[in-house]
């Protein structure tokens, strides 16, 4: 028997199945989807068995050396899904399978994680007629429960326990325990409003569309709708996936679903340890779970008999993997799974992406609305502060109104959320004498100053160096930090209101395991007056005491050179505004900006999604951007700038000559021209329909796959242009 094995190396030159003999000792054990160890060249590598056949066209085959796991890791659906992803993203097949698995189960030697076990005792073959009181206590517990856990017997005399063990009255055995546990203390579900019930009924009774968009204002109770839908499908014997965009949302979502559904849930997200991910994945594969909650990678989990996939806050750019191959779109993967399982996809957002809302308007998706908050409260009142005028009166970063309102909320025992979508202390460091600016030696970008560690850091490659006031160019002690980040705002607020308690929530403060959950819990318990953070505080969080949201600088995302900058700004402002006034007290929002007349900011201040949608769609149509056109982003990188520019122009000419209805833009230097010591150029393609496009792009990739001096990355329908 022959096995076709896909090895662990993600290299386009070997992106295919290799044949291996199956030894007689493994013939009855090898299955498609298993992980095995095989000899490859002079190495011993792991890989996945993708096919089993009777013969091979290759003579003198090597043999499989061993099986890594007794269980099949990739089921039939996942194997098919990987091939579809390879086709859609033009990535290597192994990269498409690896992204589906936790690190401990990827094809990669030396990455194994051990299982955790508890020791128990049960009756052996011998019975004692005479026992002391302690020994009798152990026997009575086992009679009652059938076993006793070692940790539960720690308060019992070890000598009595050892005596029973030596005489074979009791015998030890081990049972695996999972690193993550859930409670089974269920709470009574909320009674749905008429609007919520109508949405649920429309979805479960719809038979002509499997994809739905719930357009609901912040606080309209979309999560309750999700849970009611899942409950419906669970009663039909089906399973569910719930996707959330941010790690910070996961603890709250897991708790809410745990309260409703108990221990039949699992969580998959990057905040878990590798051991926890390993356990959760195996629980899912073994069928011990009905609901999986997590970030985008949870879309791949091997749940069987899927009934529904929920994509909460569908507008979030975190649903697109754009940092490494395969650069997949979570919704596209969900659509493949929906077709395979004949299950429904439900997306929800107060600010749907323009592409999604346009498809819903056209009837490609079924549009459902939740126009009111469930508590009957109005959306918060929004004030726009023109900082061009305010700077005449305020020297710092807080307008007079925002500072007064923060003081007022503190006196009332209420809470405040402050948003600044830039971490660190200062954006850059420059010399006041000669103008020298400190840049990353590896990337074409200024270093960010982090005051707590007195470090200058590159947020792209990780380079860090100590901050020195002496200028390395002119030698003067005249280095000054400019721009503003969350650290500086925290320091300034504490200097203005010394008694205030500020909790800063950004990448720097939440990088340690469990910090998201700890911070959310402490703020919910009113241990702090102000929650200051980057965009992670803008989505999905629900705090009953928050009655004021302040946006320190609404222009941060507006000034990014990206055609989606207006949409991202509107969405961020609308989402963070929705954190205010979600309970009995009315909410307020203060937006500080230097662009008070910008349409994205004005529409956000009126909670006017439809107004923004119409205005932005007109701009997209005239500039030929999504949803009117599809995009492909081609990024080329090399250490040799001249060679790179030459090859980039060769590719541009090939595209222009071979594609008849595609707009080719570039090549131009990337926004970050140099990253990790490599120069970077980009080409952007705009098209509506182009049958020749995918085959041509594959030819270009294949042409350069053996060229070690040029690296080509493709991103279909990109979210970012870096």
Tell me, yes or no, whether 317 and 353 share the same domain.
yes
Looking at 457, 483, 509, the residue that finishes a domain is: 483
Mean pLDDT of 695-718: 94
pLDDT surpasses 70 at 385:
yes
Q: What are phi and psi of 216, to 5 degrees?
A: -135, 135
Q: What is the per-residue pLDDT across 520-556, written as a single tens digit (0 to 9) for each?
A: 899 999 999 999 999 888 877 888 999 999 999 999 8
Tell me, yes or no, whether 127 and 267 share the same domain.
no
pLDDT grade for 111, boundaries at 50, 70 and 90: low
Residue 463 inside a domain? The answer is yes
Q: What is the per-residue pLDDT across 472-522, written as a single tens digit (0 to 9) for each?
A: 899 999 988 888 889 999 999 999 999 999 999 987 888 788 888 889 899
Looking at 566, 593, 620, the residue that finishes a domain is: 620
Tell me, yes or no, whether 538 and 651 share the same domain.
no
Mean pLDDT of 589-618: 97
pLDDT grade for 187, boundaries at 50, 70 and 90: confident
Tell me, yes or no, whether 406 and 550 share the same domain.
yes
The range of the structural domain enclosing residue 282 comes to: 194-370
Looking at 564, 591, 620, the residue that finishes a domain is: 620
- Residue 22 near residue 714 (C-beta atoms within 8 A): no
pLDDT of residue 444: 86
Tell me, yes or no, whether 301 and 442 share the same domain.
no
SS (H, E, C) 111-164: CCCCCCEEEEEEECCCCCCCCCHHHHHHHHHHHHHCCEEHHHHCCCCHHHHHHH
pLDDT grade for 155, boundaries at 50, 70 and 90: low
Mean pLDDT of 322-341: 95
pLDDT surpasses 70 at 34:
yes
pLDDT surpasses 90 at 393:
no
Q: How many domains does the chain have?
A: 6
pLDDT of residue 110: 62
Q: What is the per-residue pLDDT across 403-451, written as a single tens digit (0 to 9) for each?
A: 999 999 999 999 999 999 887 777 788 998 998 999 999 988 889 888 8
Tell me, yes or no, whether 352 and 252 share the same domain.
yes
pLDDT of residue 150: 81
Residue 418 inside a domain? The answer is yes
Mean pLDDT of 174-192: 87
Q: How far, CA to CA in Å, does 486 sit from each of 88, 339, 421?
A: 39, 44, 8
Residue 491 inside a domain? The answer is yes
Tell me, yes or no, whether 357 and 234 share the same domain.
yes
For the chain, the C-alpha Rg in angstroms (whole number) is 29
Show the beta-strand stretches assigned E in 552-644. 588-593, 630-638
Residue 135 inside a domain? The answer is yes
Residue 182 inside a domain? The answer is no
Pick the residue with more confidence: 184 or 351?
Answer: 351
Q: What is the per-residue pLDDT across 560-598, written as a single tens digit (0 to 9) for each?
A: 888 999 999 999 999 999 999 988 889 999 999 999 999
CATH number at residue 48: 3.40.1440.60
How crowded is residue 498: how many other Cβ atoms within 10 Å of its Cβ?
7
Rounded to two decimals, the pTM is: 0.91
Tell me, yes or no, whether 289 and 242 share the same domain.
yes
Mean pLDDT of 353-380: 94
308 CB-near residues (< 8 Å, 6+ apart): 229, 230, 233, 238, 240, 241, 343, 344, 345, 346
Tell me, yes or no, whether 212 and 352 share the same domain.
yes
pLDDT of residue 70: 83
pLDDT of residue 130: 82
Residue 363 inside a domain? The answer is yes
Tell me, yes or no, whether 478 and 489 share the same domain.
no
Q: What is the per-residue pLDDT across 645-675, written as a single tens digit (0 to 9) for each?
A: 999 999 999 999 999 999 999 999 998 899 9
pLDDT surpasses 80 at 378:
yes
Residue 188 inside a domain? The answer is no
Tell me, yes or no, whether 122 and 161 share the same domain.
yes
Cα 568–chain centre separation: 17
Q: What is the per-residue pLDDT across 135-146, written as a single tens digit (0 to 9) for each?
A: 888 888 888 888
Residue 38 inside a domain? The answer is yes
CATH number at residue 231: 3.40.50.300
Q: What is the per-residue pLDDT across 204-260, written as a single tens digit (0 to 9) for each?
A: 999 989 999 999 999 899 999 999 999 999 999 999 999 998 776 777 888 889 999
Burial of 527 (0-12, 13-18, 19+ CB in 10 A): exposed
- Report the percent of the chain where pLDDT is more than 90: 68
pLDDT surpasses 80 at 151:
no
Angle at alpha carbon of residue 654, lines to 650 and 660, rounded to 5°: 150
pLDDT surpasses 90 at 51:
yes
Q: Provide the 8-state DSSP code for 510.
A: H
pLDDT of residue 135: 84
CATH number at residue 673: 3.30.70.600
Tell me, yes or no, whether 228 and 243 share the same domain.
yes
Handedness of CA 26, 28, 32, 35 (dihedral sign): negative
pLDDT of residue 152: 75
pLDDT surpasses 80 at 157:
no
pLDDT of residue 489: 94
pLDDT grade for 109, boundaries at 50, 70 and 90: low
């Amino acid at each position: 028997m022959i096995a076709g094995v896909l090895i662990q190396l993600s290299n386009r030159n070997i992106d295919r199945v290799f044949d291996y003999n199956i030894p007689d000792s493994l013939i009855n054990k090898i299955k498609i989807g298993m992980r095995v160890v095989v000899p490859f060249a002079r190495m011993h590598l792991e890989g996945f068995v993708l096919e089993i056949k009777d013969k091979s066209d290759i003579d003198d085959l090597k043999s499989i050396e061993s099986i890594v796991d007794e269980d099949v890791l990739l089921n039939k659906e996942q194997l098919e899904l990987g091939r579809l992803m390879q086709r859609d993203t033009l990535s290597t097949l192994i990269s498409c399978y690896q992204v589906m698995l936790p690190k401990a189960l990827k094809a990669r030697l030396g990455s194994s994680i051990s299982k955790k076990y508890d020791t128990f005792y049960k009756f052996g073959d011998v019975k004692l007629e005479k026992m002391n009181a302690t020994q009798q206590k152990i026997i009575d517990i086992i009679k009652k429960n059938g076993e006793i856990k070692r940790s539960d017997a720690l308060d019992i005399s070890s000598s009595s326990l050892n005596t029973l063990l030596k005489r074979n009255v009791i015998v030890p055995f081990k049972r695996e325990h999972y690193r993550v546990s859930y409670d089974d203390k269920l709470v009574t579900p909320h009674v749905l409003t008429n609007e919520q019930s109508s949405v649920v009924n429309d979805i479960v009774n719809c038979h002509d569309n499997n994809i739905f968009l719930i357009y609901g204002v912040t606080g309209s109770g979309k999560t309750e709708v999700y849970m009611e839908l899942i409950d419906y499908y669970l009663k039909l014997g089906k399973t569910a996936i719930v996707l959330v965009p941010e790690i910070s949302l996961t603890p709250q979502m897991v708790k809410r679903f745990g309260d409703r559904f108990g221990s039949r849930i699992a969580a998959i997200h990057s905040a878990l340890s590798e051991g926890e991910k390993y356990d959760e994945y195996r629980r899912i594969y073994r069928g011990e779970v009905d609901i999986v909650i997590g970030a985008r990678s949870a879309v791949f989990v091997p749940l069987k008999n899927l009934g529904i996939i929920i994509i909460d806050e569908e507008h979030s750019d975190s649903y697109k993997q754009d940092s490494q191959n395969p650069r997949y779109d979570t919704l596209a993967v969900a659509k493949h799974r929906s077709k395979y399982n004949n299950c429904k996809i439900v997306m929800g957002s107060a600010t749907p992406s323009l592409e999604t809302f346009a498809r819903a308007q056209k009837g490609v998706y079924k549009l459902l609305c939740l126009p009111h908050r469930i508590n009957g409260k109005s959306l918060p009142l929004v004030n726009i502060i023109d900082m061009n005028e305010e700077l005449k009166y305020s020297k710092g970063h807080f307008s007079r109104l925002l500072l007064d309102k923060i003081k007022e909320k503190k006196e009332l025992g209420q809470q405040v959320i402050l948003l600044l979508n830039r971490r660190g202390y200062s954006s850059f460091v420059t010399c006041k004498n000669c103008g020298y600016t400190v840049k990353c030696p590896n990337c074409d970008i200024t270093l960010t100053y982090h005051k707590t560690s007195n470090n200058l850091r590159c947020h792209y490659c990780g380079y860090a160096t100590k901050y020195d006031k002496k200028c390395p160019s002119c030698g003067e002690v005249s280095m000054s930090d400019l721009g503003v980040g969350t650290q500086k705002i925290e320091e300034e607020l504490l200097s203005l209101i010394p008694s205030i308690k500020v909790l800063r929530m950004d990448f720097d403060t939440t990088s340690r395991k469990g910090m998201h959950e700890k911070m959310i819990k402490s703020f919910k318990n009113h241990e702090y007056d102000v929650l200051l953070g980057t965009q992670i505080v803008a989505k999905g969080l629900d705090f009953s005491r928050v009655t004021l949201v302040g946006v320190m600088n609404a222009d941060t995302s507006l000034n990014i050179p990206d055609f989606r900058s207006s949409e991202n700004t509107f969405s961020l402002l609308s989402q963070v505004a929705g954190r205010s006034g979600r309970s009995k007290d009315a909410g307020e929002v203060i937006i500080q900006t230097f662009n008070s007349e910008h349409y994205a900011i004005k529409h956000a201040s009126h909670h006017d999604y439809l107004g923004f949608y119409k205005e932005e769609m007109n701009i997209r149509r005239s500039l030929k951007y999504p949803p009117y056109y599809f995009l492909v982003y081609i990024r080329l990188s090399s250490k040799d700038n001249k060679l790179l520019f030459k090859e980039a122009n060769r590719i541009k000419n090939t595209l222009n000559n071979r594609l008849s209805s595609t707009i080719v833009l570039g090549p131009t230097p990337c926004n970050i021209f140099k990253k990790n010591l490599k120069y970077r150029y980009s080409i952007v393609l705009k098209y509506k329909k182009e049958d020749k496009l995918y085959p041509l792009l594959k030819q270009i990739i294949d042409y350069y796959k053996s060229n070690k001096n040029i690296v080509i990355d493709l991103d279909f329908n990109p979210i970012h242009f870096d």
